[in-house]
């Protein structure tokens, strides 16, 4: 199966590393022109410089802080005044770890701004062109925790669940415009986020970080942590015409971590 995204334009959040970077790289490898977003300009410059351009692509980046919704809103609004996209990958960093009893209302508000408001606002801006063009792909990077909540990720559990149910409603509304909306439920991937969570857990338990990782791998049917490249392959398929009849669903990519159906 050949996937060509030539002449398509994509916007990928959280793409200076990890899953977002892998998605951006694979979209570009398939012919799309990609705009990356992150807070680290140095990393973005380095990645953009190495993205393939052999199909005439023009790549760029936006320096944004997803934790500052008002600042983000201004930057992304200005971007869409001069640009349009065919493929939108909604992805941000995760909120701080912690259980439900550790978090206050203000923490949930901050997580809501980070995980929900940025996604909805960006999508609203992207949809104008998609509807006019009668084609679009919206891919939300979510988590397996929306199906099986993780006790140490109370903020992510709650707000990402809101994102996936909103996306289901949106998929129904925009389907007539040949626009698909899907959520990818992320399992364990070899990223800085996983390393940070493992380091915190190791400190709390008084054990080596390698032991935490080994225990994590044992929970996965495939007995390993995922490579972000594998995530990029799935996202690129969902962004293509090959996935034109897939919309409004949650797709786990977790190596068999989820135990529920």
The structural domains of the chain, with segments of one domain joined by +, span 9-187+228-251, 190-225
User: Which residues lie below 8 Å from residue 52, measured CB to CB, with a gap of 6+?
Assistant: 28, 29
Give per-residue pLDDT as tens, 183-232.
Answer: 999 999 999 888 888 888 888 888 998 998 999 999 999 999 999 999 99
Three-state DSSP at 16 gives coil
Three-state DSSP at 113 gives helix
Q: What are phi and psi of 225, to 5 degrees?
A: -90, 145
Does 261 have pLDDT greater than 90?
Answer: no
Rounded average pLDDT over 81-91: 98
DSSP state of 55: T
Three-state DSSP at 150 gives coil
Mean pLDDT, rounded, of the chain: 95
What tokens appear for 240 in the block? 């293509």
Please give the Cα distance from 137 to 167 (Å, whole number): 12
Where are the strands (E) in the chain, listed by range? 9-12, 33-38, 60-63, 87-90, 136-143, 179-186, 250-253
In CATH, the architecture of 9-187+228-251 is 3-Layer(aba) Sandwich (3.40)
User: Which residues lie below 8 Å from residue 165, measured CB to CB, with a gap of 6+?
Assistant: none
Three-state DSSP at 149 gives coil
Q: How wide is the angle at C-alpha 254 spanned by C-alphas 251 and 260, nearest 5°?
A: 70
Please give the Cα distance from 128 to 111 (Å, whole number): 26
pTM of the predicted model, to two decimals? 0.95
Does 154 have pLDDT greater than 90?
Answer: yes
Please give the Cα distance from 208 to 215 (Å, whole number): 11
Does 139 have pLDDT greater than 90?
Answer: yes
């Amino acid at each position: 199966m050949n996937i060509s995204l030539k002449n398509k334009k994509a916007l990928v959040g959280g793409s200076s590393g990890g899953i977002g970077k892998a998605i951006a790289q694979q979209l570009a490898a398939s012919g799309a022109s990609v705009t990356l977003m992150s807070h680290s300009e140095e990393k973005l410059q380095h990645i953009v410089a190495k993205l393939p351009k052999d199909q005439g692509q023009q790549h760029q980046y936006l320096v944004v802080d997803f934790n500052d919704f008002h600042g983000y809103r201004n930057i992304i609004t200005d971007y869409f005044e001069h640009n349009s996209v065919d493929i939108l990958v909604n992805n941000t960093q995760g909120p701080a770890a912690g259980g439900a009893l550790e978090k206050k209302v203000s923490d949930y508000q901050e997580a809501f701004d980070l995980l929900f408001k940025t996604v909805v606002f960006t999508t609203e801006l992207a949809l104008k062109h998609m509807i006019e063009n009668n084609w679009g792909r919206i891919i939300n990077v979510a988590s397996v925790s929306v199906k099986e909540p993780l006790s140490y990720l109370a903020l992510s559990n709650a707000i990402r669940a809101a994102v996936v149910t909103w996306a289901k409603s949106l998929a129904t509304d925009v389907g007539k415009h040949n626009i698909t909306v899907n959520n990818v439920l992320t399992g364990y991937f070899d990223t800085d986020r996983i390393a940070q969570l493992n380091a915190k857990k190791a400190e709390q338990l008084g054990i080596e970080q390698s032991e935490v990782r080994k225990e994590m791998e044992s929970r996965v049917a495939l007995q390993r942590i995922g490579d972000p490249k594998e995530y990029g392959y799935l996202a690129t398929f969902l962004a293509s015409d090959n996935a034109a009849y897939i919309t409004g669903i949650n797709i786990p990519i977790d190596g068999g971590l989820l135990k529920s159906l």
